[in-house]
A = this chain, B = another copy of it.
């Protein structure tokens, strides 16, 4: 499957579908669509299309399928694996969903909201809140990421523990297929066993099987009680029984259990304005615990104090604080969310978004730390993340005063070390960011030939012309 280089005539025909105003060809206006946030990838395109309706998306894909032109769907361009960036050296056409940003419907009693794919996540959260409902997906980039991208990457974030990832938050989809046909799967049903699960195939497919244009999303009642605690621990090993205690005590009220190392707390206190270490004692590890309860604020308070008291008296937690008000709750979460940006001023950072079975986290961390430091003495490991989901952002900051470029050049070597240990524990090399371009070749190494072959069969069955986001996830 080789894509054509679009001719001036084809570019004109595609542009005519959306109208000149929404067909960008000037390099300055195209530029923001070509580079991803971390700057690791920069692509080329002769054309960015901004359709204003599902019908225009359909016409674009129909023409692309007929001619063999490659189409790269893009939402808020916040992805970390360059799935949304056109290939370098090709001439993929970017299809931006940003103008499809209408909330189509909200049914608070039925607990659903129907949104265009280009709606910004924070806007969906706000509309839900205005109806006294919660849309729980929550990410650092929520002010600019778009729900179609969240769906296409099966986004996770900080509320997965209680509410699940994007897959669990979606009831139905509308998808334009590569042929331009529209699949109307916009169902609002909690239970529907009528044939193969097409919805979950498009979710997480990173735009390689079709373009998601609309979705039915689940809403939840707004919790009445909310408590955030911050605990200092002597080891990751202690975080595991603490998580077990928290899950047993709180059940689905445990909405966050986030692990952070001392180094991360130091980085945020040093580099992020307004952040300070909430404890007056020093600990090797920290856990942020978030509890939300439906019935009353007292239930959340009681759960938090019971959890922390038994954990302190049992020796699992060395010291802890509980946020006294919403400002303090936000402040604790702000520290957690600053873990990644706080690494930037410390020089180069080699990042991994991995998961292992929750009960293997301590063993995985110990083994990975030893291997990384053996390979790069002085490397500063700042591994943090969604412990309750088994999902660790295993980031490695360069040794103090080392050369940044030399350090970054060892990215593939560090990947091989960390991912090798991840696979030993039957983990995942991409817990929440997806595959895109960044991890495509590695995917082929860590998954069995049978699994890759099944994916290729699906790709060919859905996109025989090979126009949908080619070379992402799988090599065309």
Question: Chain A interface (Cβ within 8 Å of chain B)?
Answer: 107, 109-112, 153-154, 156, 160, 162, 164-165, 167-168, 177, 181-198, 200-201, 203-205, 209, 220-221, 223, 240-241, 244, 247-253, 293-295, 299, 302-303, 306, 355-360, 386, 389-391, 426-435, 439, 443, 446-448, 450-452, 454-455, 457-462, 473-474
Complex Cα spacing A435 to B462, Å = 23
Q: Contact: A252 with B252, CB < 8 Å?
A: yes
Q: Contact: B204 with A201, CB < 8 Å?
A: no
Q: Contact: B251 with A429, CB < 8 Å?
A: no
A-B contact pairs, 17 of them (CB 8 A): A107-B359, A109-B359, A111-B247, A168-B168, A177-B450, A183-B451, A189-B426, A189-B428, A191-B391, A192-B431, A193-B433, A195-B474, A196-B455, A220-B251, A249-B295, A251-B252, A251-B253
* Residue in B198, B241, B429 whose beta carbon sits within 8 Å of that of A451 in the complex: B198
Q: Contact: B110 with A189, CB < 8 Å?
A: no
For the complex with contacts A194-B429, A195-B455, 20 further pairs of A-B residues with Cβ separation under 8 Å are A109-B241, A109-B244, A164-B168, A167-B200, A177-B454, A183-B448, A189-B357, A190-B390, A190-B391, A191-B432, A192-B430, A193-B204, A193-B428, A193-B434, A198-B451, A249-B294, A250-B295, A251-B295, A295-B299, A461-B461
The complex is assembled from copies of this chain, and their number is 2
Q: Contact: A294 with B253, CB < 8 Å?
A: yes
Which residues from B are CB-within-8-Å of A194? 428-430, 434-435, 439, 443, 446-447
Please give me the 3 A-B residue pairs with the lowest Cβ-Cβ distance, nearest first.
A251-B294, A252-B252, A110-B359
What is the minimal beta-carbon distance from A99 to any residue of chain B, in angstroms? 24
Which residues from B are CB-within-8-Å of A201? 196-197, 200-201
Q: Contact: B203 with A431, CB < 8 Å?
A: no
Query: Given contacts A299-B295, A461-B457, are A195 and B431 in contact (CB under 8 A)?
Result: no
What is the minimal beta-carbon distance from A242 to any residue of chain B, in angstroms? 11
Query: Given contacts A221-B248, A299-B299, A461-B460, are A191 and B294 in contact (CB under 8 A)?
Result: no
Which residues from B are CB-within-8-Å of A250? 294-295
Q: Contact: A450 with B192, CB < 8 Å?
A: no
A166 (CB) vs chain B CBs: closest residue: B193
